[in-house]
Amino acid sequence: MDQCPSAPSPDAPAYRGRVKYDARTARRYQQRDPARHRAELRLVERAFAFVPVTHRVLDVPCGGGRLTVALAQKGYDVTAADLSDAMLAIARETIAAQGLRCPVEKQDVERLTYPDRSFDTVLCFRLFHHFPTPEIRQRAVNELCRVARQFVVLSYFSPMSFTSWRRKLVATLGGRPSPKHSTPLREVKGYFANAGFRLVRDFAHRVVLHTLHLALFERVGDFWP
Ligand SMILES: C[S@@+](CC[C@H](N)C(=O)[O-])C[C@H]1O[C@@H](n2cnc3c(N)ncnc32)[C@H](O)[C@@H]1O
């Protein structure tokens, strides 16, 4: 029987962000608006105000290493990891250019090779919104939580924002659906609760105006009654 022409190939990646970053797109990602970079950095700094500087931190995905560098310069012992070879090459350059010596490793966030609780804190910035299904979201959260001893800091796109409403409207009116997925905080909290973590605080640059949120989760039991 003929295969339906619109059926995805069995070899297709589950989401485009998994394979998007080749040498060209990885370089282009480094040229993002500096004001946006500074705003994102401030968001990360607000969450890391809760994280002791003695913590071993895993930055996954590290992309070109901008947050690895920022955290290492604050004194954290940071390991950088990503799936894209092109991004890993840029991260190595960026880290070396700053005179830092952070390990940079190829890892898939859905199948990390680190033993349980290898890091005190795990940062996962600007990846979760690429995940198209609850199964992938839960699988990634399970892995982030498994390797984190205390904290996981995760960015996600909130549906309660102008950008998300606009994307939904475009799709409803027949436009191209966005490959970026927003997830309500209660759903994000559910994935973490399943993995034994609870929300400490949710940060946003400007709630409703900005879709990017950053949530700080902590392991329940060892750190909370
Ligand atoms: C938008 S970039 C963000 C990188 C970095 N956190 C930053 O903010 O600069 C998304 C990154 O996720 C990486 N990525 C996609 N799927 C991944 C996976 N399953 N495991 C690890 N990294 C992945 C891509 O290679 C890319 O570097």
Residue 184 lies inside a defined structural domain of this protein: yes
Please report which confidence band the pLDDT of residue 223 belongs to, taking 50, 70 and 90 as the band edges.
Answer: low
Residue 154 lies inside a defined structural domain of this protein: yes
Residue 99 lies inside a defined structural domain of this protein: yes
Per-residue pLDDT at 174: 74
Q: For residues 148 and 188, what is the distance between their CA atoms, to the nearest angstrom? A: 17
- Index of the ligand 1 atom closest to the CA of residue 125: 6
Calculate how far, in angstroms, residue 186's C-alpha sits from the geometric centre of ligand 1.
Answer: 24
Decide which of 165 and 24 is more confident: 24
Calculate how far, in angstroms, residue 89's C-alpha sits from the geometric centre of ligand 1.
Answer: 13
User: Rounded to 5, what percent of the chain is helix, strand, coil?
Assistant: 40, 20, 40
Average pLDDT of 191-197? 98
Residue 11 lies inside a defined structural domain of this protein: no
The boundaries of the domain holding residue 184 are: 16-219
Decide which of 65 and 179 is more confident: 65
Q: Is 128 in the pocket of ligand 1 (CB under 6 A)?
A: no
Q: For residues 69 and 86, what is the distance between their CA atoms, to the nearest angstrom? A: 17
Q: For residues 168 and 172, what is the distance between their CA atoms, to the nearest angstrom? A: 6
Q: Is the pLDDT reported for residue 2 higher than 60? A: no
Residue 3 lies inside a defined structural domain of this protein: no
Calculate how far, in angstroms, residue 154's C-alpha sits from the geometric centre of ligand 1.
Answer: 12
User: Whose alpha carbon is nearest atom 23 of ligand 1?
Assistant: 83
Q: Is 65 in the pocket of ligand 1 (CB under 6 A)?
A: no
Q: Is the pLDDT reported for residue 38 higher than 90? A: yes
Residue 9 lies inside a defined structural domain of this protein: no
Please report which confidence band the pLDDT of residue 210 belongs to, taking 50, 70 and 90 as the band edges.
Answer: confident
Best residue for ligand 1 mutational test, from 82, 126, 130 (most atoms within 8 Å of Cβ): 82
Give me the number of domains the chain comprises.
Answer: 1
- b/e 104-123 (16+ beta carbons within 10 angstroms → b): bbebebeebebeeebbbbbb
User: Whose alpha carbon is nearest atom 4 of ligand 1?
Assistant: 63
Instruction: Provide the mean pLDDT of the chain.
Output: 90
Q: Is the pLDDT reported for residue 161 higher than 80? A: no
Average pLDDT of 52-80? 98
Per-residue pLDDT at 1: 32
Residue 7 lies inside a defined structural domain of this protein: no
Per-residue pLDDT at 39: 93
Q: For residues 142 and 196, what is the distance between their CA atoms, to the nearest angstrom? A: 9
Q: Is the pLDDT reported for residue 62 higher than 70? A: yes
CATH of the domain at 71: 3.40.50.150
Q: For residues 78 and 89, what is the distance between their CA atoms, to the nearest angstrom? A: 17
Q: Is the pLDDT reported for residue 78 higher than 80? A: yes
Cβ atoms 197, 145 nearer than 8 A? yes
Residue 182 lies inside a defined structural domain of this protein: yes
End-to-end CA distance of the chain: 58
- The secondary structure of residue 160, as a DSSP letter, is S
**Using CA atoms in the order 64, 40, 47, 187, what is the torsion angle rounded to 10 degrees?**
-90
